């Protein structure tokens, strides 16, 4: 998709469709039974004139994601005018704007429209931030998961070009637009990886895709197999991988720019279970097909490295991806088995379906060995995080309040929904074992927390953040702004977080 900036007056722009935002300026709440007070966010009075009738009709309420399409809007050069509702003006932010851009894309591409112009709304949002939100939202909305439908080229025709209409000089906004493109394309890159079924996204294929991307953007990428995993004594990772005929992959991506901030080396660790059957503690058949997305954490970290390589912040970053299937077989690990992790700690396997924390344990340990000073992992780790936070917020865990604050700020800027969950020492009780240093499954209660407590044992004293994206890496339904399927969650927050360390 092409993106352009224009400083033309919205009314004077020749386009297939001009998109403008409508907000509700009634600040009283519902109790007062006041009608909405919708008004269009444009200083171009010709736009206001063009919509006079439809506004008077009461059809437009400015409700979030409400769309109203007008043909031949009078006095405008655009062929069509799309009004997109954005809810209350008082609470309208870049996060909403991003979703409105996605909504515009998804509304218009279904109407056989290939290009449009989005007028940056005249609200309190700073222009660079607004441009960024529109570009990111448009790319996210343009993604469709129906790649394997024979007719997808015809049925899922995409938007080819978006023009963002701004006031004044476009020059200073050029770099915001380019950066937003990089971020958005990296998010869709992740979604492509996650969307692939497990027969087309084995650990080996994931490693190949990482290498191909690395070659394109100028990153170093190494991919190792079973021999290296055993040589490094990654007994927890191998415990999972040993049950599969498909070889595992340990993928390392390195970004080490000149003039990088001293004393900072970020380590990004991703869970890359390309299919999670549960192993011998096998999962029920119902819904098991979704376990192809159990490599979303890995895809996220690979996508972050892509964005970083192109944005070029001056900070050293290494990504470590542990990729394997989790299969039942004659070679598979069994409940009761004891594995010795790379760090030397022993783990009693209670449930072979708690495999993510095993591979991450060795991934985190390896990151420390490579000299990482701060660690972040992303993983579709537990069903329990979905019980706790539903499909709305990803879970954040951190061993270090300062690091958490920095991440929370990045997360806020990125406009992604995440919520911190606790890691009190008391929870450590849950992962005690009779015969080893710990068990790999603490059972049902506080399941997202006990999984994080397990990981903490391997992050040790290195400041660390864990993102449990089990409930948020996959959209359960189509939304007006994003398709059902992989979401690409966490990339934007992680990119902001990495940038915050740049020299």
Q: Which residues pair with 4 in a beta bridge?
A: 163
Say how far apart CA 274 and CA 240 lie, in whole Å: 12
Q: Which of residues 269-328 bind Zn ion (CB under 5 A)?
A: 273, 276, 294
Among 145, 447, 463, 485, the residue binding ligand BES under the rule CB under 6 A is 447
Q: Find the residue with minimal CB distance to ligand BES.
A: 383
| Residue of 208, 278, 283, 293 lying closest to 244 (CA atoms) | 278
Residue 196 binds Mn ion (CB under 5 A):
no
- ∠ CA 235-252-233, nearest 5°, is 15
Count CB atoms within 10 A of the CB of residue 235. 23
Find which of Mn ion, ligand BES, Zn ion, none residue 383 binds, CB within 5 to 8 Å per kind.
ligand BES
Q: Are 494 and 317 in contact (CB under 8 A)?
A: no
Among 170, 318, 380, 393, the residue binding ligand BES under the rule CB under 6 A is 380
Which residue, 341 or 379, has its beta carbon nearer to Mn ion?
379
Residue 73 binds Zn ion (CB under 5 A):
no
Count CB atoms within 10 A of the CB of residue 240. 31
Residue 468 binds Zn ion (CB under 5 A):
no
Q: Which stretch binds Zn ion (CB under 5 A): 66-74, 252-260, 298-306, 355-363?
A: 355-363
Concatenate the DSSP letters of all residues of 183-251 into one string: HHHHHHHHHHHHHS-TTSS-HHHHHHHHHHHHHHHT-EEEEE-HHHHHHTT-HHHHHHHTT-SSPPEEE
Which residue, 41 or 355, has its beta carbon nearer to Mn ion?
355
State in angstroms the smallest separation of the CB of 391 from ligand BES: 10
State in angstroms the smallest separation of the CB of 275 from ligand BES: 10
Pairing, β 418-420 against β 346-348: unpaired
| Residue of 421, 430, 480 lying closest to 450 (CA atoms) | 430
Q: Which stretch binds ligand BES (CB under 6 A): 64-72, 87-95, 119-127, 375-383?
A: 375-383
Residue 247 binds ligand BES (CB under 6 A):
no
CA dihedral sign of residues 260, 265, 271, 274: positive
Residue 325 binds ligand BES (CB under 6 A):
no
Q: Please, is 171 exposed, middle or buried when counting C-beta atoms within 10 Å of its C-beta (0-12, 13-18, 19+)? A: exposed
Among 297, 356, 446, 463, the residue binding Zn ion under the rule CB under 5 A is 356
Annotated catalytic residues are 283, 357
Say how far apart CA 321 and CA 325 lie, in whole Å: 13
Which residue, 66 or 276, has its beta carbon nearer to Mn ion?
276
Among 276, 325, 362, 496, the residue binding Mn ion under the rule CB under 5 A is 276
| Residue of 83, 78, 75, 139 lying closest to 106 (CA atoms) | 139
Residue 277 binds ligand BES (CB under 6 A):
no
Structure tokens belonging to residue 396 = 């954040």
Among 353, 377, 416, 496, the residue binding ligand BES under the rule CB under 6 A is 353
Residue 356 binds ligand BES (CB under 6 A):
yes
Say how far apart CA 461 and CA 374 lie, in whole Å: 10
State in angstroms the smallest separation of the CB of 208 from ligand BES: 23
Pairing, β 338-340 against β 374-379: unpaired
State in angstroms the smallest separation of the CB of 431 from Zn ion: 17
Residue 382 binds ligand BES (CB under 6 A):
yes
Is the backbone of residue 497 left (phi > 0), alpha (psi -120 to 50) or beta? alpha
State in angstroms the smallest separation of the CB of 433 from ligand BES: 14
Residue 353 binds Mn ion (CB under 5 A):
yes
Q: Which stretch binds ligand BES (CB under 6 A): 93-101, 260-268, 354-362, 459-467?
A: 354-362
Say how far apart CA 383 and CA 345 lie, in whole Å: 25
State in angstroms the smallest separation of the CB of 336 from ligand BES: 15
**Count of residues in contact with ligand BES, rule CB under 6 A:** 16
Which residue, 121 or 272, has its beta carbon nearer to Zn ion?
272
Residue 196 binds ligand BES (CB under 6 A):
no
Structure tokens belonging to residue 452 = 């994080």
Applying CB under 5 A, the residues found at the interface with Zn ion are 273, 276, 294, 356
Applying CB under 6 A, the residues found at the interface with ligand BES are 276, 294, 351, 353-356, 380-384, 386, 441, 447, 470
């Amino acid at each position: 998709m092409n993106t352009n900036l224009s400083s033309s007056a919205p009314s004077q722009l020749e386009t297939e469709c001009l998109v403008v935002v409508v907000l509700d300026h009634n600040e009283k709440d519902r109790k007062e039974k006041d009608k909405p007070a919708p008004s269009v966010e444009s200083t171009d009075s010709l736009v206001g004139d063009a919509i006079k009738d439809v506004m008077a009709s009461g059809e437009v309420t400015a409700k979030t994601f409400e769309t109203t399409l007008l043909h031949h809007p009078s006095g405008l050069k655009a062929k069509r005018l799309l009004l997109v509702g954005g809810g209350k003006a008082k609470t309208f932010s870049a996060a909403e704007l991003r979703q409105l851009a996605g909504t515009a894309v998804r509304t218009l591409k279904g109407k056989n429209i290939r290009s449009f112009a989005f007028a940056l709304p005249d609200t309190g949002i700073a222009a660079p931030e607004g441009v960024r939100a529109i570009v990111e939202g448009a790319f996210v909305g343009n993604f469709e998961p129906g790649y394997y439908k024979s007719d997808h080229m015809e049925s899922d025709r995409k938007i080819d070009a978006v023009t963002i209409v701004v006031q004044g000089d476009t020059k200073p906004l050029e770099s915001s637009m380019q950066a937003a493109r990089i971020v958005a394309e990296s998010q869709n890159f992740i979604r492509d990886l996650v969307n692939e079924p497990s027969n087309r996204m084995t650990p080996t294929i994931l490693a190949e895709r990482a290498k191909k991307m690395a070659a394109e953007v100028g990153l170093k990428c190494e991919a190792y197999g079973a021999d290296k995993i055993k040589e490094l004594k990654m007994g927890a990772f191998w415990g999972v991988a040993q049950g599969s005929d498909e070889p595992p992959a340990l993928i390392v991506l390195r970004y080490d720019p000149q003039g990088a901030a001293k004393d900072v080396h970020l380590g990004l660790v991703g869970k890359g279970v390309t299919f999670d059957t549960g192993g011998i503690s096998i999962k029920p058949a119902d819904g098991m097909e979704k376990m192809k997305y159990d490599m979303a954490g890995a895809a996220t970290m690979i996508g972050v490295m892509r964005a970083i390589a192109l944005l070029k912040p001056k900070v050293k970053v290494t990504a470590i991806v542990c990729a394997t299937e989790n299969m039942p077989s004659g070679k598979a690990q069994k409940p009761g088995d004891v594995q010795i992790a790379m760090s030397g700690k022993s783990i009693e396997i209670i449930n072979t379906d708690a495999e993510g924390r095993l591979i991450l344990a060795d991934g985190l340990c390896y990151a420390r060995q490579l000299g990482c000073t701060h660690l972040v992992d992303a993983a579709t780790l537990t069903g329990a995080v979905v019980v706790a936070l539903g499909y709305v917020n990803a879970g954040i865990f951190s061993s270090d309040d300062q690091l958490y604050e920095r991440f929370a700020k990045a997360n806020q800027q990125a406009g992604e929904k995440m919520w911190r969950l606790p890691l009190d020492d008391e929870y450590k009780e849950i992962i005690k074992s009779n015969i080893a240093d710990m068990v790999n499954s603490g059972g049902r209660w506080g399941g997202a927390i006990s999984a994080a407590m397990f990981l903490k044992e391997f992050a040790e004293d290195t400041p660390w953040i864990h993102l449990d994206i089990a409930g948020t890496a996959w959209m359960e339904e189509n939304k007006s702004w994003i398709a059902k399927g992989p979401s690409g969650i966490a990339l934007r927050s992680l990119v902001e977080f990495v940038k915050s360390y740049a020299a």
